[in-house]
Structure 1
């Protein structure tokens, strides 16, 4: 059975898919009323499931006329995706950020399900039993290498 967070995420993605512009504006309180939850649940869903790594830009305006604007970012070419990914990965990356990038690559069909499973397993914290700062740096190097291999010959 899906959690309330899963349901809210699915609802927002469905609205985004139906939007011609790829942008939606929602009111936190209205969404909370619709799903009979507290507004902080909406904040949680947006902050964890609509991240830059997952391909979203979120803007928020608080106050009486406040809103949350969510924009889905589509990348134009494999070469531009490659450049953006390398910048997002940087010199250090957490497991959750790396998994978000892998999920986005899958959603955009830039990797196969098998490639995604392989990448997830290789970057897992139980595989890389190192102190945290070093582990995140090694994970970034591995992610950059795998992304480079993945995009080799795809229009760079």
Structure 2
């Protein structure tokens, strides 16, 4: 299974490189090319193309569904690594997320309106999950938002 995952990853990395950082492909066609189930494609996307590794993945399911993978270039890799690992980690509380949003506004990475939009997206009301699951989802959403900012 690892060999197949490596082959899929290598193929996608090559496409991303050829397309200058962004590729869009249909999941079904990719699965057909590698003679595997679409779930194998999902596995590769969730383990090899993560926000921490510098990728933003957008997926739309269904007949005309597609996968879009964007390689994100960080302006300051060290500060982003520190933010992802030390400040956010695998889970983050609403209060801690608010502190990060406030700091982003203070440093003029985002304006007040964008900050409020992010706050609403990360609010307990928006995330209808239980305690730790909510904090894990909040961390994932925040990391993906930060990829767009940085």
Q: Decide: shared fold, TM above 0.5.
A: yes
* Off by >4 Å, runs of 4+ in structure 1: 91-94
- The alignment of Structure 1 onto Structure 2 pairs a total of residues equal to 90
- Which string of whole-angstrom CA distances, capped at 9 and with x for unpartnered residues, describes residues 99-123 of structure 1? xxxxxxxxxxxxxxxxxxxxxxxxx
* CA distance in structure 1 between the partners assigned to 2:16 and 2:51 by the alignment: 15
RMSD (CA atoms): 1.9
| Secondary structure of the structure 1 residue equivalent to 2:23 | strand
Q: Which blocks of at least 5 consecutive residues in structure 1 are unaligned? A: 95-156
TM-score by length of 2: 0.55
* CA distance in structure 1 between the partners assigned to 2:61 and 2:35 by the alignment: 20
* CA distance in structure 1 between the partners assigned to 2:88 and 2:28 by the alignment: 36
| Secondary structure of the structure 1 residue equivalent to 2:24 | strand
| Secondary structure of the structure 1 residue equivalent to 2:36 | coil
* CA distance in structure 1 between the partners assigned to 2:26 and 2:88 by the alignment: 35
| Secondary structure of the structure 1 residue equivalent to 2:57 | strand
TM-superposed CA distance for 1:91, in Å, is 4.4
Matches within 5 A, 1:131-150: none
* CA distance in structure 1 between the partners assigned to 2:60 and 2:86 by the alignment: 29
Aligned residue in 1 for 2:59: 60
Aligned residue in 1 for 2:12: 12
TM-score by length of 1: 0.53
Aligned residue in 2 for 1:125: none
